[in-house]
A and B are shown apart, each in its own frame.
Chain A
Amino acid sequence: MATQEQRTKIVWDYAPAPESPEHVRLRDSYGLFIEGEFRDPADGTRVQSINPATEEPVAEVAFAGPGDVRRAVEAARAAQPAWAALSGLERGKYLFRVARLIQERARELAIVESMDGGKPIRESRDVDVPLAAAHFFHYAGWADKLSYGMGGRAVEPLGVAAQIVPWNFPLLMAAWKLAPALACGNTAVLKPAETTPVTALLLAEIIQEAELPPGVVQIIPGDGPAGATLVREPDIDKVAFTGSTAVGKDIQAALAGRGISLTLELGGKSANIVFEDAALDQAVEGIVNGIFFNQGHVCCAGSRLLIQESVAETVVSKLWDRMGRLRVGDPLDKNTDVGAINSREQLDRITALVASGEEEGALRRSVACELPERGYWFAPTLFTDVAPAHRIAAEEIFGPVVSVLTFRTQAEAIEKANSTPYGLAAGIWTDKGSKAFEVAAALQAGVVWQNTYNKFDPSAAFGGYKESGFGREGGMSGLRPYLRTTP
């Protein structure tokens, strides 16, 4: 049976501290960014991008139809030889410009990111936007050093890269995709996600302002079918996709027999492992950051919390107490910890999976916070009495929902952590260094955080094992997916 505990009413509170959207300069309508200009869709449509916190439109955006996708690929193809022929230094200088312009427009980008996607302004301001600039800065510097990043091998660009990014980190994912592709001499067609296209279009403005040669970058918003059309285009050389494992498998199958380079960064059900010798208060902060960062819309979210039995009761009690102090609400308020769920569709998915958790017998606790009347919201939720076979323990929820499992021994923790088709990330909480290194080595996960969680950096590789995908983004290894070696 499900129970709902009332949280103790906090007697003191913060005054609202909303970020002002006043100096944001959004156009009424954005075209498709093809060959250096915003263009009317030939066979696409125009849709409103909705603010999930208010259900009001942010801006009108053109969605690409199949003819538009083709046109974008042709523009990228036409521009590629000249882009690749530029010296690495000159290519890099364009990317340095982009990095600088992102920094200059950082405040505006952060506000729009929070309006379009629902994430707290504190996260878009302190994480998404600075990291996007940092990625361009990092790869700008690689452009004239490519063979050093490839173990001394002679290399050349692949050609035209088709890139599809998700809605959870719209600008940051665009930067993760574009920066290495361009540094290596490829041109790109980037499809932002259906629900969050606006910051990518601001990036298109920045690319214009940086005077990148027309055709080097195309940015064409669209829905799932537009992405499916893009990866099936005959004249592409590379596909890079970040999104769900189901769509990733479809793309891998769609590319069968075509000899096209593919990078997949897919879903996860990452284990966050708390040992009895951890600094428990610090661990609780890390658990909160691991699962409630960006409303849990994070592919590497620490959604499976594995706690050693001897401290399970204490950790759950501290965690529940801490969850009661999370501030859920207006993404533009600088005090907000948990913002809006990205879309109605995602809210429905979270609601359905949480319902399955209750039906399968797990114990649900959701924070009894006041949620705004309009918009899409989900209260931070904790499940205990979870069995590994429950859907909430096995499937990616992609929301602010954490499932608690327990273990007795280190070996059992490792076995449970690895017992999933996914392998994206993991967390380890212990004050014993040798144990942390031993467990980190045994986990089948592309990223392992010890006594921390959800840390990212352009110099550090990111990507999954097993069904969480293949290929890496970030650092030296992020060059590999965009280059071929030459004799």
Chain B
Amino acid sequence: MTRLPVKKTYKLFIGGSFVRSESGRYDRSEEHNIPRASRKDVRDAVAAARKASGAWAGRTAYNRGQILYRFAEALESRAADIGAEREDVEASIDVLVHYAGWTDKLQPVLGGINPVAAPFLSFSVPEPTGVVGIVAPDAPPLLGLVAELAPALAAGNTAVVVLSDERPLPGLDLGEVLGIADVPGGVVNLLSGRRAELAPVLAGHHALSAIVDASGDPSLAAQIDKLAAESVTRVRHAEPTASYAAATADPLSRLEAVTELKTAWHPVGA
């Protein structure tokens, strides 16, 4: 007797939970029903990311590095379950390992003690900007998103990702890996749906600190810029990342785009 396989129901990943779109809408992709997120789902995801932001940023750099490395371990062990090409998954794992190592390097590289000409201890330290929106490209479906997600998390941000229109399955599969990787709920939120509908809602959300548009879609760029201007949201546009080498060629620029620098002054002797 042949066994009837159990089929997976794909869901959005918001606040650490797998949920259906509140709209009840879906699309078909690679013979699966894929939830089609709504404006309300975007707002819920940003709220979840904002809520998780303080605690994630407050973890030690060492701890965040270990969690990102654990994320890489979990992805390696689930590599066969991800609906993406093998080399796409392997490059994504290596990118996670690379950025796991950045968590406690960012401060010495970007920050330091300022040699001010007065009796003060003045120092500048990088801090996460807060909640980062990521608009993922269609290809490569996993690396294109992980190459933007990893630096955002390494710098201490939480993220809301609009997944590829064409290939959302690898991104949704990633949610299940996150669930076993000690990444706290709400730190990464994954939305499938129509990019043209979701990306503008995300870019215009006033609780978003920065948006990384890696869609490579020129028609979207000006619209994202304009909406981001409403609340002085930081914007980085990037071409889709096609390889491990591209993801790590200039990691500091990716990290800087989602980082603030805080300067503190303390009197000495007074």
Pick from B112, B122, B237, B267: contact of A451, CB under 8 Å: B267
Tell me whether B261 is interfacial, beta carbon within 8 Å. Answer: yes
Given known contacts A259-B237, A457-B116, A487-B249, A252 and B225 CB-to-CB distance under 8 angstroms: yes
Among residues 117 to 171 in chain B, which have CB atoms less than 8 Å away from a CB atom of chain A? Answer: 117-118, 120, 122, 124, 129
Whether the Cβ atoms of A462 and B263 lie closer than 8 Å is yes
Which A residues lie within 8 Å of B112 (CB)? 476
Pick from B117, B229, B249, B265: contact of A450, CB under 8 Å: B265
Among residues 232 to 259 in chain A, which have CB atoms less than 8 Å away from a CB atom of chain B? Answer: 245, 248-250, 252-253, 255-257, 259
Given known contacts A455-B118, A459-B115, A461-B114, A447 and B263 CB-to-CB distance under 8 angstroms: yes
Among residues 229 to 270 in chain B, which have CB atoms less than 8 Å away from a CB atom of chain A? Answer: 229-232, 234, 237, 249-250, 252-253, 256, 260-267, 270
Tell me whether A94 is interfacial, beta carbon within 8 Å. Answer: no
Q: How far is the CB of B132 from chain A (nearest CB, A)?
A: 13
Q: Which residue of B lies closest to A480 (CB)?
A: B256
Q: How far is the CB of A465 from chain B (nearest CB, A)?
A: 5
Whether the Cβ atoms of B232 and A466 lie closer than 8 Å is yes
Pick from B229, B252, B253, B256: contact of A249, CB under 8 Å: B229
Among residues 340 to 390 in chain A, which have CB atoms less than 8 Å away from a CB atom of chain B? Answer: none
What 0/1 pattern do residues 438 to 475 of A give for CB contact below 8 A with B? 00100001111111100101011111011111101011
Tell me whether A225 is interfacial, beta carbon within 8 Å. Answer: no
Tell me whether B1 is interfacial, beta carbon within 8 Å. Answer: no
Tell me whether A44 is interfacial, beta carbon within 8 Å. Answer: no
Q: How far is the CB of B147 from chain A (nearest CB, A)?
A: 16
Tell me whether A319 is interfacial, beta carbon within 8 Å. Answer: no
Given known contacts A257-B222, A457-B116, A452 and B124 CB-to-CB distance under 8 angstroms: no
Tell me whether A420 is interfacial, beta carbon within 8 Å. Answer: no
Q: What total of A-B pairs shows CB separation below 8 Å? A: 121
CA distance A467 to B116 in the complex (A): 27
- Chain B residues touching A, majority SS: mixed
Pick from B209, B228, B250: contact of A252, CB under 8 Å: B228
Tell me whether B47 is interfacial, beta carbon within 8 Å. Answer: no
CA distance A257 to B112 in the complex (A): 34
Jot down 30 A-B pairs with beta carbons below 8 A, ordered by A. A134-B117, A245-B232, A252-B232, A257-B221, A257-B225, A436-B266, A440-B264, A446-B261, A447-B262, A447-B263, A447-B265, A448-B264, A450-B264, A450-B266, A451-B266, A452-B270, A455-B118, A455-B122, A457-B122, A460-B114, A460-B263, A460-B265, A462-B263, A465-B129, A466-B232, A470-B232, A477-B110, A480-B256, A485-B253, A487-B249
Chain A residues packing against B (C-beta within 8 Å): 134, 150-151, 153, 245, 248-250, 252-253, 255-257, 259, 264, 266, 421, 436, 440, 445-452, 455, 457, 459-463, 465-470, 472, 474-477, 480, 485, 487
Chain B residues packing against A (C-beta within 8 Å): 109-110, 112, 114-118, 120, 122, 124, 129, 209, 221-223, 225-226, 228-232, 234, 237, 249-250, 252-253, 256, 260-267, 270
